[in-house]
Structure 1
Amino acid sequence: MRICLLFCLTLLIGNTFAKENSNVKQHKSIEVFGAGSIQSVPDRFSFSLSIEEKGKVAAHLNQAIIEKSNSVIQALFEIGVDKQQVQSLQIRFNPWIEYKNNTQEQKGFILTRQITVTLDSLTKYEQSIDAVLNLGVSHINQFIFSNSQADKHYQAALQQALINAQQRATDMAKVLGLKLSGVISILEQTSGQPAPIMAKARQFQASESYQAGEMLTEARVKVVFALQNASK
């Protein structure tokens, strides 16, 4: 009886291993990475500028900031910038401290207003920079180029990445006498944020040197394909 039970148990284990090995053979797969990219010229431009006033009376500083801000905004309107493209809500109020002979002295306050300008024309971009520089703003920074078709470009790059992954998997499988039989999983590895191609951008020093350059939208995916013998 014991020998019979042992034989049955051995047979059961053997069948289980055989099924597992059979499943392994039926689920051959290949994991590949695909990449795609789209180049585009930005058609949106934004920058921020700061207007700063120093003094001892906060009310006077506020009035000076309002007057200078109005001058800047009016200059932008005169060259055709829409009201919706100008934001001037951010205000900072800090103590004005200077150091002399290793001692600090509070001389008053510093009031700063930040204005953000977004444009859809390179010509207006050039004119805007020149206009605000002529008004003596304190700082101009955060130059950002973007593209209104960013999502469309990313979808195109994503399609390229999938085609690239499929082609790579096909070529690899062919060498091993296999072929693709379906997709097991797809993992998107990028978020679709375009990046400027730095080599084609220039520093902005004068109107004649402005150049938008190009933007590179990249997509990367990881795809797992099921495999089968090429003869099937």
Structure 2
Amino acid sequence: MRKIMWLIPALLLSACQVQAQNSNAMNNTPSVTVSGQATHYAVPDQMSLTLWVEERGQKLSSLKTQVDQASEKVLRDLLERDIDKKDIQSYQLQVYPQYERNDNGETQQKGFVVQRQIRVTLRDTSHYDKIVDMALAQGVTRVANMQYEISNADAIYQQALTDAYAQAQQKAKLIAERAGLSLGHAINIREQSMPRYGVMMMAAERVSKSDVSLPGQQSVEAQIEVTFTLQ
């Protein structure tokens, strides 16, 4: 038993020495670190927006009923307009106390605020005006967070990452040749960019003609940092 207890620390010490040797060997390996960047462009082909149903008053149960009824009408009409269920997100009911200041400057509760958000993705942006008109007619009190989006943005970003790596590899190869060396393999890759999709649209941009407000092209950028060995 005592022999085994002495053996375990010895094995751990040996493993640490091997790890240190491997780390030193890696640190002594000639290498070059370069960055690569690529930008792809696409025209947004869909839109998302948030519909708010909100009521204020004294009687909480009545406010909840009004918000539920208006929400049901909006959801029903969205489905009747061929908006897919997966493109509709109806969030939980939210309740807040409503406060006001009296003549003495004191804050007092004057009732409640009951609200629900409905997030909608429009695959056909030409339906935007009709959807907003319908929603306002059914009790929606606010339309916000309107955003143009690219439906295949993830695929475009992945392609941009591939091109960014190719650029970094080409830069590293050029540096290696100038130094009289040959390029080895990549030993460290770090993504420096974050995919950002969507172009925010102001509420004032709502127009009757679909060709007046256009999203234009949107850039999808990718940037990475790569370390290659040199031989």
Deviation per residue, 1:79-118 (Å, 9 max, x gap): 3323342222321111122223213332222111111112
Report 1:201-220 matches (<5 A).
Answer: 204-208=205-209, 209-220=212-223
Please tell me the residue identity of whatever aligns with 2:178: V
Deviation per residue, 1:51-100 (Å, 9 max, x gap): 11122222211221122222322332343323342222321111122223
Structure possessing the higher radius of gyration over alpha carbons? 1
1: CA distance, partners of 2:70 / 2:199: 36
| Bigger Cα displacement from structure 2, 201-210 vs 150-159 | 201-210
1:122 aligns with 2:133: no
Question: What is the deviation of 1:197?
Answer: 6.4
| Bigger Cα displacement from structure 2, 31-40 vs 123-132 | 123-132
Contact 2:199 2:215 in 1 (8 A): no
Question: What is the deviation of 1:33?
Answer: 0.8
Deviation per residue, 1:179-218 (Å, 9 max, x gap): 43312413131465234468xx776232434323333222
Q: Please point out which of 97, 104, 108 is paired with 1:105.
A: 108
Q: Please point out which of 38, 41, 46 is paired with 1:39.
A: 41
User: Could you tell me which residue of structure 2 aligns to residue 85 of structure 1?
Assistant: 87
Report 1:15-34 matches (<5 A).
Answer: 27-34=29-36
User: Aligned in 2, Cα 1:89/1:32: closer, same or farther, shift over 3 Å?
Assistant: closer
2: CA distance, partners of 1:204 / 1:134: 19
Report 1:51-90 matches (<5 A).
Answer: 51-90=53-92
Question: What is the deviation of 1:161?
Answer: 0.7
What is the count of residue pairs matched by the alignment?
202
TM-score by length of 2: 0.73
Q: Please point out which of 43, 48, 51 is paired with 1:49.
A: 51
Please tell me the residue identity of whatever aligns with 1:220: Q
User: Could you tell me which residue of structure 1 aligns to residue 144 of structure 2?
Assistant: 141
Question: What is the deviation of 1:222?
Answer: 1.6
Q: Which residues of structure 2 form unaligned runs of 5+?
A: 1-24
Please tell me the residue identity of whatever aligns with 2:107: Q
Deviation per residue, 1:145-191 (Å, 9 max, x gap): 33332232122111111111122123333334x24331241313146
Please tell me the residue identity of whatever aligns with 2:97: P
**How big is the alpha-carbon RMSD for the aligned residues of Structure 1 and Structure 2?**
2.8
1: CA distance, partners of 2:199 / 2:56: 39
Q: Which residues of structure 1 form unaligned runs of 5+?
A: 1-22
Contact 1:194 1:215 in 2 (8 A): no
User: Could you tell me which residue of structure 1 aligns to residue 187 of structure 2?
Assistant: 185
How many percent identity over aligned positions? 31
Please tell me the residue identity of whatever aligns with 2:71: S
